[in-house]
Amino acid sequence: MWEEIGMAAVALPNETLLAILGYLESNVLVHVTQVSRRFRALAEYLLYSAVIINDVMDDVQHVPHRTIGWCEAMLWRPHLADSVRRVQIRWSATRTPRTGLLLVCEQLSLAIRTLTCLEHLELFLGPANLASLPRENIHAVERAVFLCCLPALRFCSLGAEYTKGVQPYTGHLTSFLTQIPQLRHLRLSDHHSCLRLPPDCLPFLQSFRGSAAAAASVLPGRPVRYLWLIGQDSDVSRENLLCMTNTTTPICSLDLSAISARPLLIRNVSECIPTLERLRIRLALRHTLHYALSGMVSSKASSFYRSLQKHVSFYRVSSSAFRPF
């Protein structure tokens, strides 16, 4: 009986077998690779379609070994590149980084260049940029995407650990973004300055997450409807907010939960972006209580909150706003 089932399975076309094998867990697919050459090719196609790697570096492991292993596999077996649709790589470290991470970034770039069918890319390279040598004029993330052309990419999230004085982003990031015309969603976690993009770049961008300075330079002229801001409350000026409203479609959702927002910022948001339908905020409770207890919540403030409720159908105050002092 089992022989008959096996013969029937072999007779099925590859498309049908892929649909069946797609229900299996990754650890089971590893065993499927040992059945035959055909089943190995099919199982590998599924295993490499979504790559999720978390590397933690410490005193024993100085480099991201899992990332290196994946890069070597992609370069040694280029036929797997067409199967990759999603890549998510995250590095973290418990020790001072070394310059060896920059060599891994360059190796990562060679692997990503082969992924012409990639649709989802997330890179958080942890301490890699802290290891950048002075005056190299290229960010560690830019090393990882250098000369990469990803025409099918829809989602892109880039970032690394940030501290003052490290190598900032350069024009290499702009060059990369011009090579992904189909991008819908962009996340830049450590880009804290203006991003100078050509007017015809990212024509289909729908959502953006990043600093206020980056958002003010990216949003104008693009159909962004969903916006997440990061950084400090003081970074979100009224001028930046007015620049963000120059999108080709109105912004309907704004997430400020990554910022400790003071009432002044919320007032500016209500006045500058009246098209909001959803607002998520994390109030700076200490400042809010100061305004309330000092009598600054007057009729003007009350009218502001009424205008906020008039324009926003749903807004949420994050529970993290109510942490003890």
Q: What is the pLDDT of residues 54-91, one digit of tens each?
A: 999 887 788 899 999 999 999 998 888 888 999 999 99
Mean pLDDT of 280-285: 79
11 inside domain? no
DSSP SS3 for 278: strand
Q: What ranges in 121-261 are assigned the alpha helix state H?
A: 140-144, 171-177, 212-218, 238-244
| Nearby residues of 191 by Cβ (< 8 Å), 6 or more positions away | 158, 159, 169, 173, 210, 211, 214
5 — pLDDT class (breaks 50, 70, 90): very low
Residues 143 and 85 in one domain: yes
Residues 140 and 74 in one domain: yes
Residues 224 and 150 in one domain: no
Q: Is the pLDDT at 134 greater than 70, yes or no?
A: no
Domain ends where: 171, 204, 237? Answer: 204
Residues 62 and 191 in one domain: yes
CB-count exposure of residue 18 (10 Å: 0-12, 13-18, 19+): middle
26 — pLDDT class (breaks 50, 70, 90): confident
Residues 195 and 223 in one domain: no
Q: What is the pLDDT of residue 321?
A: 41
Domain tally for the chain? 2
28 inside domain? no
Residues 53 and 199 in one domain: yes
Domain ends where: 145, 171, 204? Answer: 204
Q: Is the pLDDT at 276 greater than 60, yes or no?
A: yes
DSSP SS3 for 297: coil
Domain ends where: 178, 204, 230? Answer: 204
For the domain that residue 76 is a member of, what is the CATH number?
A: 3.80.10
95 inside domain? yes
DSSP SS3 for 62: coil
Q: Which residue range forms the structural domain that includes residue 78?
A: 49-204
Q: Which range, of 80-89, 133-142, 192-201, averages the lowest pLDDT? A: 133-142
- Look up the pTM and report it: 0.83
Residues 169 and 196 in one domain: yes
2 inside domain? no
211 inside domain? no
- Highest mean pLDDT, choosing among 197-206, 255-264, 299-308: 197-206
Residues 223 and 139 in one domain: no
- Highest mean pLDDT, choosing among 63-67, 137-141, 183-187: 183-187
41 inside domain? no
22 — pLDDT class (breaks 50, 70, 90): confident
Among residues 85, 175, 67, 47, the alpha carbon closest in space to that of 124 is found at 67
175 inside domain? yes
50 — pLDDT class (breaks 50, 70, 90): confident
13 inside domain? no
Mean pLDDT of 314-318: 53
Q: Is the pLDDT at 173 greater than 90, yes or no?
A: yes
Residues 166 and 306 in one domain: no
Q: What is the pLDDT of residue 167?
A: 84
Residues 194 and 170 in one domain: yes
Mean pLDDT of 137-149: 92
Residues 244 and 296 in one domain: yes
Q: What is the pLDDT of residue 49?
A: 85
Residues 190 and 134 in one domain: yes
241 — pLDDT class (breaks 50, 70, 90): very high
